[in-house]
C-alpha cells in the first residue's frame, strides 16, 4: 500500500465523518463556522467581538482547538457567558472531523444557532481537513504581512470569508492592502472581505451583519427541508 | 503495524539522515542554523539583518523553506548577495532532513561558515523534525501575543536561542514581556533571549555577536577533531 493510498483513505474517512457532523448540525438548525488562522492573528479576540455583537440575538457555542492542554482561550469564552468546549489535539497541528464529532454530543445543539470552531493556529494543515462546518473563514492580520496569500495559498482557496484583523496597526507597519487583496483575488475572487480591528472595534459591525444573515438563511433553509 | 510504529520509524529515519547532514556540515566546518517561527514573524527580515551584520566577515548560505513555489524570500536573500536555494515543500507544513539532504549538494559548503535554514512558517510541525543543524532558533513577534509559549510549548523546548521580533510595536500592542519570559523560563530556562526590531535594528547587534561566537566555537572545535 503506497503512502498516497493511506493518505487518501484517511482523507476520505475524514470527509465522510465531516458530512455526518454537518447533518447533525442541520438537524438542530445550527450553522457551523470554522475559523482558521496563523498563531496570534486574533482568532479568540474576533470570537469575543462576535459574541458581543450578535449575542444574545443569536445563541452561540464555541469549540476551542488547542495543541496544548492550556485553557486560556476557552476560559475567555466561558467568561463571556458562552458555552465552550476545548479540544486538546495533544500536539497535533489541526482539528479534524473526528475531534469535532467527539465533542458535539457535549453541546446542547438545540439551544444554539451558531457553533464557532476555533481551529489550531496554523496556516497550512487545517486547510486539509474538513470538519463539517458550513462556513470556513480565515483571519489574516496586518503584522503578518501583505504577502501571506502568495506564500500560503491553499488555506485561502474555498473559504467563504476573509477577515483582516489589526488594521489599527496600519500606520506603524508597511502593509500594501492592494497587493494583499490582489493575492486573494487570484485565489478566491468571490470571498467576502472584512478589514477589522478587534482593538478598536472598527469593521466588526459589517462582519457581524454578514454572519447574522448567513445564520438566518441557514435556519430558513433547514426549516423548509 | 500500528500507526505509532509507522510514525516512530519515519522519525527514526529522519533522525539518521539529520545526523548525516550534520556530519556533512562538520566536514566543511559549516555551522547549521534552523530558524522556526509562525507565518509573518519576520524570519526573512531577521536573516537579511543577520546578513548585514555578519557578512562578509562570515560567509553565509541560506536554504529557504516554502510551502508554495513562490520565491519571494529566496529572491530577497539573493538580492543581498548571498547564495540561497529554495525548498518548495509542495504544500507540506515543515522541512525535514530528507529535504535538506537533497539541497546540500547544490551549495558550495567549503565556501561557507554559516548555513541558515528558514523553515516553513508554522509553530507546530517543524518542531517534530530534526534537520541536522547545530542550532535551533525560534522567532516570536510582539503582535503574536505574550501567551504563545503557553499555547505552543513544544517548539520552545530544546531551542538554543529565542528572538522576540517587532519590539518597535510594543507601544501600540498589549504585550506583557514578563509573562512571555515566564512562559519561556518554564520550558527552556537556559535559552539565549534576544528582543529585536528588524524595522529599527534595535537588539540585532547582540544577536549577531552571539551567532558569530557560536560560529567561531564550532569552527575551532571542528579544526581540532
Nearest to A40 among B72, B144, B168 (CB): B144
pLDDT digit string, tens, across residues A96-127: 999 999 999 999 999 999 999 999 999 999 99
Residue A214 has pLDDT above 80, yes or no: yes
Q: B129 CA to chain A: closest CA distance, Å?
A: 14
Question: Three-state secondary structure along chain A?
Answer: CCHHHHHHHHHHHHHHHHHHHHHHHHHCCCEEEEEEECCCCCHHHHHHHHHHHHCCCCCEEEEEEECCCCCHHHHHHHHCCCCEEEEECCCCCCCCHHHHHHHHHHCCHHHCCEEEEECCCCCCHHHHCCCCCCEEEEEEEHHHCCCHHHHCHHHHCCCCEEEEECHHHHHHCCCCHHHHHHHHHHHCCCCEEEECCCCCCCCHHHHHHHHHHHHHHHHHHHHCC
H or E element, residue B75: helix B72-79
Q: B67 CA to chain A: closest CA distance, Å?
A: 7
Q: Is residue A156 a contact partner of residue A127, using CB atoms and an 8 Å limit?
A: no
Q: Name the pLDDT band for A225 (thresholds 50, 70, 90).
A: low
The pLDDT value recorded for residue A224 is: 65
The pLDDT value recorded for residue B158 is: 86
> A14: Cβ–Cβ under 8 A, 6 or more apart, which residues?
A96, A97, A98, A129, A130
The pLDDT value recorded for residue B1 is: 46
pLDDT digit string, tens, across residues B131-169: 999 999 999 999 999 999 999 999 999 899 999 999 999
B-contacting residues of A 14-33, CB under 8 Å? none
Q: What is the DSSP-derived secondary structure letter of residue B85?
A: E
Q: A26 CA to chain B: closest CA distance, Å?
A: 32
Each residue of A164-183: b (16+ CB within 10 Å) or e? bbbbbbeebbebeeeebbeb
**Cα four-point dihedral sign B155, B157, B163, B164:** positive
pLDDT digit string, tens, across residues A201-213: 999 999 999 999 9
The pLDDT value recorded for residue A1 is: 46
Q: B119 CA to chain A: closest CA distance, Å?
A: 13
The pLDDT value recorded for residue A221 is: 86
Residue A4 has pLDDT above 70, yes or no: no
Q: Would you call A201 an interface residue with chain B, using a CB distance cutoff of 8 Å?
A: no
The pLDDT value recorded for residue B172 is: 97
Nearest to A144 among B39, B68, B150 (CB): B39
* A88: nearest CA partner in chain B: B151
pLDDT digit string, tens, across residues A16-36: 999 999 999 999 999 999 999
pTM, entire model: 0.94
pLDDT digit string, tens, across residues B6-59: 767 777 899 999 999 999 999 999 999 999 999 999 999 999 999 999 999 999
Nearest to B150 among A40, A70, A121 (CB): A70
ipTM entry:
0.91
One of 3.30.360.10, 3.40.50.150, 3.40.50.300, 3.40.50.2300 is the CATH number of A3-223, namely: 3.40.50.300
Q: Would you call B169 an interface residue with chain A, using a CB distance cutoff of 8 Å?
A: yes
Residue in the structure block whose three cell numbers are 522541512: B95
> Which sequence spans correspond to the domains of chain B?
3-220
For chains A and B, count residue pairs whose Cβ atoms are closer than 8 Å. 108
* B66: nearest CA partner in chain A: A151
Domain B3-220 sits in CATH 3.40.50.720: no
pLDDT exceeding 70 applies to what percent of chain B?
96
Amino acid at each position: 500500500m503506497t503512502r498516497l493510498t493511506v493518505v487518501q483513505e484517511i482523507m476520505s474517512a475524514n470527509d465522510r465523518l465531516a458530512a455526518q457532523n454537518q447533518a447533525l448540525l442541520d438537524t438542530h438548525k445550527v450553522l457551523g463556522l470554522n475559523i482558521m488562522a496563523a498563531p496570534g492573528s486574533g482568532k479568540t479576540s474576533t470570537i469575543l467581538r462576535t459574541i458581543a455583537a450578535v449575542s444574545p440575538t443569536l445563541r452561540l457555542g464555541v469549540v476551542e482547538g488547542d495543541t496544548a492542554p492550556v485553557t486560556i482561550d476557552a476560559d475567555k469564552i466561558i467568561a463571556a457567558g458562552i458555552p465552550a468546549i476545548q479540544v486538546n489535539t495533544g500536539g497535533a497541528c489541526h482539528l479534524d472531523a473526528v475531534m469535532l464529532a467527539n465533542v458535539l454530543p457535549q453541546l446542547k445543539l438545540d439551544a444554539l444557532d451558531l457553533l464557532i470552531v476555533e481551529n489550531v493556529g496554523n496556516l497550512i494543515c487545517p486547510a486539509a481537513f474538513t470538519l463539517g462546518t458550513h462556513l470556513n473563514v480565515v483571519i489574516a492580520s496586518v503584522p503578518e504581512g501583505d504577502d501571506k496569500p502568495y506564500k500560503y495559498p491553499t488555506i485561502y482557496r474555498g473559504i467563504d470569508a476573509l477577515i483582516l484583523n489589526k488594521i489599527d496597526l496600519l500606520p506603524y507597519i508597511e502593509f500594501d492592502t492592494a497587493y494583499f487583496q490582489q493575492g486573494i483575488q487570484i485565489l478566491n475572487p468571490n470571498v467576502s472581505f472584512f478589514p477589522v480591528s478587534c482593538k478598536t472595534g472598527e469593521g466588526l459591525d459589517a462582519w457581524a451583519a454578514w454572519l447574522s444573515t448567513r445564520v438566518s438563511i441557514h435556519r430558513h433553509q433547514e426549516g423548509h427541508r
